[in-house]
Amino acid sequence: MASAGGSLLVLPAVLHLRRSDADFTAALRERFRVLDFFASGQPLPAFLAAAAAAPEPPRAAVVVGGGSVRVDASFLDAVPSLRCVVSTGAGVDHIDLDECARRGVAVANSGEVYSTDVADYAVGLLLDVLRRVSAAERYVRRGSWPAQGDYPLGSKLGGKRVGIIGLGNIGSRIAKRLEAFGCIIHYNSRKPKDSISYKYFGNVHDLAAESDVLIVACALNKATRHIVNKDVLEALGKGGVVINIGRGANIDEAELVIALREGKIAGAGFDVFEHEPKVPAELFSMDNVVLSHHVAVFTEESRSDLRAHTVGNLEAFFSGQPLLTPVDADSLVQ
């Protein structure tokens, strides 16, 4: 590409460590020299070594959560030129924020791009579990209705006590939606929220004991790994329902499977799993469980918004402007 003065304009290099659709990749290539890991066919160490050895090594990287690439000390050692990491998800458990801060590497995430869609999806999962929508649909498709009569009734959403773990951008939107259904909202976070009328619980066990539904909407970190464990599930009780649109490892998945199998809770809705894409086989035969493949964030609109948001963060970095959605450890308090 030539500039107006005739000199060669070198686009800034960006590491692309995410499987993307053609539109996303094209939007990056219009503005940056994209070094695409998945298109390279190389093992990650060789790919990073080649990028670091380039005459104009990359100063920014685009990464995705839940994948095989973790931005930690060894990653940053491999590409010492990096000064910015942009995650295309809201969660940043795949990024060592402390190490990035120590090295002066700025971090950005997707901000609120997905928040509305994930909140909608959480409510959809809850409605499906309570009203048995998917299970009844399978019943009808099997032709069981004429032979066996009506499918067993579900439970209403209105009036349910809903405990939300993590009242951040997504959790607060879930709360507003469920208020409209007549639900009673409780929440847990690291500290109470100012100007919030919902009842606050300092620990998840007590929250579960006062809830009919637990919705996991928190970030994944050392404090929140397996925040929903055996004791919490027992406190929730036989009539309780768990919805997870956070991260799979927020829940002790093995204990949740046991609780469902033994009837210690009434049902669950999962969009995320502890060892994705592996899903515990026992869940497949449970009609009180709704499963989806980590898609709560994705709509046609959110894909378009994410492209623009990612490019915006990168352009801000390369122009020396503040990132659109900077992230540090303190900003993740929910």
Q: What is the DSSP string of 225-277?
A: TT-B-HHHHHHH-TT-EEEE-S-GGGB-HHHHHHHHHTTSSSEEEES--TBTT
CA distance 196 to 114: 22
Note the pLDDT tens digit of each residue in 280-321: 999 999 999 999 999 999 999 999 999 999 999 999 999 999
Q: How confident is the model at residue 65 (pLDDT cuts 50, 70, 90)?
A: confident
If one looks up domain 13-111+300-332 in CATH, what number appears? 3.40.50.720
Q: How confident is the model at residue 328 (pLDDT cuts 50, 70, 90)?
A: confident
**Do 44 and 69 meet the contact criterion of CB atoms below 8 Å apart?**
yes
Rg (CA), the chain: 22
Would you call 247 a catalytic residue per the annotation? yes
**Do 78 and 289 meet the contact criterion of CB atoms below 8 Å apart?**
no
The mean pLDDT value for 246-253 works out to: 96
Note the pLDDT tens digit of each residue in 16-29: 999 888 999 999 99
| CATH topology (fold) of 115-291 | Rossmann fold (3.40.50)
* 218-248 as b/e: b if 16+ CB within 10 A: bbbbeebeebbeeebbbbbeeebbbbbbbbb
The mean pLDDT value for 191-195 works out to: 91
Averaged pLDDT of the chain: 94
Note the pLDDT tens digit of each residue in 135-191: 999 999 999 999 999 999 999 999 999 999 999 999 999 999 999 999 999 999 999
**Do 265 and 242 meet the contact criterion of CB atoms below 8 Å apart?**
yes
Query: Of 26-30, 41-45, 193-197, which gets the smallest average pLDDT?
Result: 193-197
CA distance 45 to 164: 40
Q: Which residue in this structure is represented by tokens 């094209």?
A: 26
pLDDT of 221 higher than 70 = yes
- What phi and psi, each to the nearest 5 degrees, are found at residue 174? -60, -45
Same fold, 13-111+300-332 and 115-291: yes
Strand partners, 270: 244, 291
Q: What percent of the chain has pLDDT over 90?
A: 90
CA distance 305 to 324: 13
Of 18, 94, 205, 294, the catalytic one is: 294
Per-residue model confidence (pLDDT) at position 237: 98
Of 112, 179, 276, 315, the catalytic one is: 276
Note the pLDDT tens digit of each residue in 67-115: 678 999 999 999 999 999 999 988 888 999 999 999 999 999 999 999 9
- What does the domain layout of the chain look like in residue ranges? 13-111+300-332, 115-291
**E strand segments, the chain:** 13-17, 33-36, 60-63, 84-87, 106-108, 161-165, 184-188, 199-201, 213-216, 241-244, 267-270, 289-291
Degrees (nearest 5) of the Cα angle 326, 308, 99? 25
Q: Is the peptide bond before 146 cis (omega within 30 degrees of 0)?
A: no
**Taking Cα atoms as reference points, which of 200, 178, 181, 182 lies closest to residue 191?**
200
CA distance 63 to 310: 10
Would you call 94 a catalytic residue per the annotation? no
Of 247, 253, 274, 309, the catalytic one is: 247
